[in-house]
Each structure stands twice: as structure tokens, then as C-alpha cells.
A and B are shown apart, each in its own frame.
Chain A
Amino acid sequence: MKNIKYDKIADVHKAPENRIKNAFVAFFSGGVIGLLGEGFIEILCMQFHLARSDAATIMIVTFIFLASLFTSLGFFDKLVTKFRCGLLIPITGFAHSMTSSALDYKKEGPIYGIGSNMFKLAGSVIIYGIVSAWFFGMVRYIIGGIG
């Protein structure tokens, strides 16, 4: 009973979140990330004459590198609290979650700390990705859409 009352009071005094502004900030920052990615691919294609698929892989690896580096330097968390989904939904969020959980559990040692906690947040993405990809792949294979 007390908890319900407390929740009601807390709800009233919560700072009003500006959802429209949040959505716009996420749109703009996500868009800039996408723009940088596409620009980087085009530069690689033009300057080094790479195939587009190879350039895309290099671009993804570069973004993962930058996100991991910025996370371990400590200022990616501040950017994430500012831009929210604009940085969490692109592949940078994946690298950020891996590096930050590895850093958080570093003091528990190399095996039970870094080794077993690195995929604490990113593991769900990989597991549900693989399970759903396997399921849809089997459906597609049984229906006979391949070949």
C-alpha cells in the first residue's frame, strides 16, 4: 500500500521527459552515424578500389574499433546518455555493451571476470539472432525457396 502511494507521488514529481525531443535527437544522431558509414564506404571504394561488400566489412570493423576505444576511454557513456538510441541501435551499441561489461568485471579476474561477463549484455543479441536466423532459414529451406 505504501509502495503504491510512493509510486504515485514519485510519478508526479518525476522530471518531465521530453519524448519528442528524445526522438528527434535519436533520429539526428543515428542519421549522422549512417551518413558517416556510407561516406566511409564510398571513400574506400573510390580511393582503394575495393569491392562494396569488402568496404562495408571494413567500415563495420572501424566503427566497432572506435566504439570500443571510446568506451574504454570513458566518454562513450556520456555520449550514450545524451543520444540514447542513436548510438545504441547501430553496431556501436553492440561494441559498447561488450567493452563496458568487460571493463566493469575486470577486477574479478581474467576468467570469471572478463571471460564470462563479456557477453553479459551482447549475448542476448547473438543468441536471438542465431535462433531466429536458424528458424527462418529452416522455414525458407522447407518451403523450397532456395536454389
Chain B
Amino acid sequence: MLLFNSFIFCGFVCMISQIVLDNSKLTPGHITSILVVIGAFLDSFGIYDMIIKIVGGGAQLPITSFGHSLIHGALARAESLGFMGILMGMFDLTAAGITAAIIFSFVFTLFFKPKN
């Protein structure tokens, strides 16, 4: 069931962004930024956690989940450390993704030549 929900949710997010992309002058950069803000907004009231519980991995792949994990780590740390915790816990959950992206793109850039 989680597999089916993943398909529907991830596809739905992509379809909405494609419709917005086709019918407005926004670029993919605008849309991903807006989606990150939406993800952070949804998680600040615990809605995105509920979505992840229902959908599973399909909700953790779209870029909205990046905003979700930013604020999720921040709020978890804020419980014990107050508002300094918001600054300290911001990258707690996203560290793996960002570090992996930087390292992989750097290593591959060293080894490969740009096409075209």
C-alpha cells in the first residue's frame, strides 16, 4: 500500500509543478524554492510528518522533504536547547544529503569532461 501511495504522492507533486511550469513564467529554480518553503511550512505544524507516515518513501524524495528535514532537526534540537537549538539543529537531518551531493558532484566533476 505504501508503494502505491508513494507513486501517487510523488507523481502528484511533480504533476502540479509541471502544470505551474507550463502555465506561468516561473523557472524550475523558482518552483523548487517555493516547494522547499511549502515543505518547511507544512512541517512546522506537523502535517508533513503525517504525510510521511501515510506515504512513506515517496514523500521523502520530492524537494519538499528537504524543507521538512531542515525544520524537523531544528525543532527537535530546540526542545532541549531553546532558540539556540534552532540554529544548531538546522542541518541535523539534511547533512547526509548535502554532504553526499557536494562530494559526488565534486568527484565526478574531476573525473568527467562536460559534454557538448
Contact = CB atoms under 8 A, between A and B. Distances in A.
Summarize B's interface: helix, strand, loop or mixed.
helix
Given A26-B14, A85-B21, A90-B10, 17 more contacts: A26-B15, A27-B11, A32-B7, A34-B58, A56-B57, A64-B101, A65-B100, A84-B21, A89-B13, A89-B31, A89-B62, A93-B63, A103-B108, A122-B101, A136-B44, A137-B86, A139-B44
A78 to B, nearest CB: 10
Interface of A: 17, 19, 22-35, 37-42, 56-57, 59-61, 63-65, 68-69, 71-74, 77, 84-86, 88-91, 93-95, 98-99, 102-104, 106, 114, 118, 121-122, 124-126, 128-130, 132-134, 136-141, 146-147
Nearest to B41: A136
Contacts, number: 250
B22 A91 contact: no
B61 interface: yes
A118 B8 CA distance: 32
A125 B32 contact: yes
Contact of A37 (B10, B105, B106): B10
Contacts of B39: 129
A35 B65 CA distance: 16
Contact of A106 (B37, B86, B109): B109
B78 interface: yes
Nearest to A88: B28
6 contacts: A34-B10, A35-B3, A68-B108, A102-B109, A103-B114, A141-B86
